[in-house]
Every structure is written in structure tokens, then in C-alpha cells.
Amino acid sequence: MPALEPTVQQIAEATSWDLRVARIRQVPQRHGTDEHAAIYAEVARRLYVPHLGPDFAYVHHAEFYELPHFLAAYEKAAKATSGFTMVTVEQLQAVLAKEPTTLLVFRTITGLTRGEFAASTTLVAEPSGPEALSASKVDAMERHGSAPSASQAKVTALTIDKIMSGTLFGEPPGALKSKQSKPDSAEGWTTVAQFAGAGVPYSHLLHQRHYGGSFRQVLDATSTLRGNLIEDAVEDLFRSNGIPYIRTSYSQADKRAGSR
């Protein structure tokens, strides 16, 4: 059996696309199946990877996740609650009704995602009657300041209050731990107010980044755009070499195809 390197080198040095395809088709004839994956991987590494953008080095700009948007909501929440010391259900309800974007701050304090918080409101709404929130409503309040109904503001305030007091969820079983068992909410509103007044140590900030992953939320929110970094590079490569292709990441009605 011929060694892998000469085969890879022949494919890489092909002077035309047709010749490269022909040489790749010879791989099964010249090598055992155990070697195929290694050959194809090395061909990809040499010929295609250099054309791909270093997407790990960048994140897309997403206004909702940038500091100004969060800071604006935080300042409203902190001012309306006197540094998170006036946090009765009635006070929270009034703040949320007047400044819906503050839900972003309160939800982040609880440590829950939009979907998780919306699901939590259903636990409160069922026994008490107020209208639960959907994940899209949570997003609309936080992102655009969409006003909640009086019922929605009430259930939101009740949900936040019960989460922070530790009465909404039961004690975690076994080796599990509560998502509220983190430095700023370990003792409910008491530690929130302490951190809001005295500041958060840099070590705590870094630990939370380590816990959640650097830029994790914004990376998830812009995953389609990040995928496009790679697919755009591949598409350009196909176009420049006249290779027919279909861009399957688009919707069925908006698939992009090329045949030059």
C-alpha cells in the first residue's frame, strides 16, 4: 500500500479541479478504508482550512448584549429600588410596569435564561391566577421595553420575589445546586444589595465568565451569523473554482445556489 503523504501531495498539487477529483476518487483503490478518513482530513486541512475565517477570534455585535443596553436597564432598576433594598412584590411590580427593560436585570440576578424564567412564571400563575409570560414576551420587555399587562407585571414580580426568597423551587437533590447559589444571590436580596453598593471583586467577575464561558450568550444568540463566516468562505471558494453548490443553511424559500 502506498504511504499517505504521496497521495495527499498528489491531490494537493493537482493542476485542475477535474484532476483533483480524479485523484481523490483513486483513494479507495489505493488505500484501505482505515486510511480514508486520515487522507481526507489532511486534504481538507491543506486545501480548504486556510480559506476559512478565524471565527474564534471575534464575536458579532449584538446591541442587546452590549454594555450600554444593560447599563441603561440596570440604572433604572437600581434607582427604582434604592440599590435593590426596596424589593417588595408591590415595588417590583411598579418598577416592571413603568420600566419593562428592568426585567433584564432582575432575570439576570436570578441566573435564569429567558425560557427558564418564562417557565417559572407559569409555576406562579397557575395557583394565583395572574397571566404567565412567554419567552417572547420576556424578550420583548427586556429588548424593546414592551409594556406588560397589569396581570403580567404582577406575576413577574411574584416570580422574582419567590425565586430570590428561595420558595419557588424545592431543595436540590443529590449533588445538584440551585442556580441562585452564586455570590450575588446566595443570601437573596441582602447580597444583591451588598454587591450593588460595594461592587463586585474582579475575581468574582472572572469566575462567572469561567462558569458561563466567555461571550457564551452572545455567541449563542449570533450562532447563525458565526456559521455564515465559515459558509461564506466555502461559498467564495466554490465560486472562484466554478463548483456547483447549494447553500442549505438558508430557508427552503431562500436557498442560495451557484453553478458557474
| 85-120 pLDDT tens trace | 999 999 999 999 999 999 999 999 999 999 999 999
> What's the rounded Cα separation, in Å, for the pair 242 and 260?
5
For residue 215, the model assigns a pLDDT of 66
Question: Residue 245, SS3?
Answer: strand
**Rounded Cα–Cα distance for residues 162 and 68 (Å):** 29
> How high is the mean pLDDT of the chain?
86
Cell, residue 244: 456547483
Instruction: Give the DSSP letter string of 97-120.
Output: HH-GGGHHHHHHHHT--HHHHHHH
pLDDT at 197: 96
What's the pLDDT at 253? 47
Number of neighbouring beta carbons within 10 Å of residue 40: 14
Pick the more confident residue, 32 or 257. Answer: 32
- Lowest mean pLDDT across 142-156, 158-172, 214-228: 214-228
> What does residue 46 show for φ and ψ, rounded to 5 degrees?
-80, -40
Q: Which value, to the nearest 10 degrees, does the dihedral of the CA atoms of residues 105, 109, 199, 189 take?
A: 110
Q: How far is CA 113 from CA 107, 120, 198, in A?
A: 8, 10, 26
Domain ranges of the chain: 1-47, 63-198
pLDDT higher than 50, residue 56: yes
Do residues 235 and 245 lie in contact, with contact meaning Cβ atoms separated by under 8 Å?
yes
CB 89 within 8 A of CB 157: yes
Please give the residue that has the higher pLDDT: either 52 or 243. 243
Sign of CA dihedral 77, 78, 79, 85: positive
Q: Is the dihedral of CA 115, 74, 169, 155 positive or negative?
A: negative
Neighbour tally for 207: CB within 10 Å: 13
Residue 45 pLDDT greater than 90, yes or no? no
pLDDT of 73 strictly over 90:
yes
Question: Which set of grid coordinates corresponds to residue 95?
Answer: 418598577
Residue pLDDT, tens place only, 4-15: 899 999 999 999
pLDDT at 254: 47
CA 51 centroid distance within chain: 26
Among 183, 179, 184, CA closest to 166? 179
pTM: 0.68
Of the listed ranges 27-41, 153-167, 180-194, the least confidently predicted one is: 27-41
Which of 191, 185, 133, 120 has the alpha carbon at shortest distance from 159? 120
Per-residue confidence (pLDDT) for residue 170, from 0 to 100: 87
Q: Check residue 37 and report its DSSP letter.
A: H
CB 259 within 8 A of CB 244: yes
Please tell me the total number of residues recorded for the chain in this structure.
260
Average pLDDT over residues 246-260: 53
Helix axes 103-110, 150-165, angle to 10 degrees: 30
Which pLDDT value is given to residue 1? Answer: 45
Higher-confidence position of 193 and 228: 193
